[in-house]
Chains A and B, each alone.
Chain A
Amino acid sequence: MSTIEERVKKIIIEQLGVKEEEVKPEASFENDLGADSLDTVELVMALEEEFETEIPDEEAEKIKTVQSAIDYVTNHAND
């Protein structure tokens, strides 16, 4: 079973089409990984599906970096 961190990183790699080594904890989706605002929305959608949770808009807006995504899922995931 993969860890939450591994699963989150895998989704980021798939959704944003970036290389694994680029997905550093402090990397910003929009500033470092080339995501536009819609990419970020889709990334949140993918996280919601992977972890079977619903991320409220006000929380989703705070998910801007790799670490913030891992932190959110760690704190809220059902599994």
Chain B
Amino acid sequence: MTMAGQVALVTGASRGIGKAIAEALVAQGVTVVGTATTQQGADAISAYLADKGEGVALNVTDADSIDAVLKHIDERYGQLDILVNNAGITRDNLLMRMKEDEWDSVLDTNLKAVFRLSKGVMRGMMKRRSGRIINISSVVGTTGNPGQANYCAAKAGLVGFTKALAQEIAARGITVNCVAPGFIDTDMTKSLTEDQQQAIFANIPAARLGQPEEIAAAVTFLASPGAAYITGETIHVNGGMAMV
């Protein structure tokens, strides 16, 4: 069984992990709609996907924007088999200094958006009795990380959300899982200082950053027909830095 002919929506696909996921799915014959927050980002996605999909602008915190993108997918492709909730932001600060809007924006983009998108794709997947929802969590949702109370809360929230939804819709042939990356070589981790990177490396048995393609491989597996009996699970991809 292959994934050829399926259609996937990957949020936050202009760069980093999301781009690697989109490219990995395309390699399996999947048509990918990748989203970015700006039209410029969407155009960049269209450029690298070429005839294997398209980039669209999406604000995951705006219900109308989500409705418009899902309507577009329905009209153009007539189906959506795979949803990868990858879009995420950080607004790091010590809790003592964290502003309400730093908390709210991270929870809205990283957690509530997953609720909105998952709900939006549910009807089509339920009717077809098949579907894959894959949420990109994070190792820090399990371990915690100082300065990231908002991000850790959102990423841990995804794990609980995933388990609840997985139980609700397992009988309809839809699986819901998380992939929890450790420290991956992306713009998000490039912003760390040298000292921060060295401190992190000391705790990674693999003694290196992970590559976006290594996250994409886990996502592709969960999206594949062979993973049909895995649901509510979180696959940690972190070079051994946390074993749970």
Contact = CB atoms under 8 A, between A and B. Distances in A.
A45 interface: yes
6 contacts: A38-B168, A38-B169, A38-B172, A42-B126, A45-B123, A45-B126
A45 B123 CA distance: 8
* Size bin of chain A's contact surface: under 10
A62 B176 CA distance: 29
B171 A38 contact: yes
* Size bin of chain B's contact surface: under 10
A38 B165 CA distance: 12
B127 interface: yes
A53 to B, nearest CB: 15
Interface in B96-134: 123, 126-127
Nearest to A42: B126
Interface string B198-215: 000000000000000000
Contacts of B127: 45
A32 to B, nearest CB: 20
A38 B168 CA distance: 8
A69 to B, nearest CB: 18
A75 B115 CA distance: 33
Interface string A47-70: 000000000000000000000000
Contacts of B168: 38
Given A38-B169, A38-B171, A45-B127, 5 more contacts: A38-B168, A38-B172, A42-B126, A45-B123, A45-B126
Nearest to B123: A45
A42 B174 CA distance: 14
